[in-house]
């Protein structure tokens, strides 16, 4: 099932971009080579769990006020809500 990274319990196995990982902390995971990787809480992953209980997951959920600046789905509406800011840095020169 598709879930967000913050919903996974520590120790859960999941897949992201075709690679397998194991969650080692609330924002970290180890890949198949046991190399550490940092994941944002709202990253969508594929996993069968185990998931955190909803009341615990709610404490780790990303702040919705911050999500509006990231334009995760690439839609114009969320970009307009964020004041027209782009998720791409522009060259100042």
pLDDT, tens digit, 9 for 90 and up, residues 29-76? 999 998 889 998 888 999 988 988 888 888 888 777 766 665 555 444
pTM for the model stands at 0.65
What's the rounded Cα separation, in Å, for the pair 21 and 47? 10
Give per-residue pLDDT as tens, 2-36: 998 889 999 999 999 999 999 998 889 999 998 88
What's the rounded Cα separation, in Å, for the pair 92 and 80? 22
Q: In what helix (H) or strand (E) does residue 54 lie, and over which residues does it extend?
A: helix 54-60
What's the rounded Cα separation, in Å, for the pair 77 and 23? 33
- The more confident residue out of 63 and 86 is 63
Torsion of CA 36, 17, 41, 54, to 10 degrees: -110
């Amino acid at each position: 099932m598709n879930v967000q990274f913050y919903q996974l319990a520590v120790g859960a196995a999941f897949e992201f971009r075709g690679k397998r990982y194991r969650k080692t902390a609330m924002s970290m995971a180890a890949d198949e080579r046991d190399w550490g990787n940092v994941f944002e809480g709202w990253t969508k992953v594929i996993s069968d769990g185990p998931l955190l209980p909803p009341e615990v997951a709610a404490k780790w959920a990303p702040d919705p006020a911050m999500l509006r600046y990231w334009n995760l789905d690439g839609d114009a509406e969320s970009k307009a809500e964020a004041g027209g800011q782009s998720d791409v840095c522009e060259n100042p020169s």
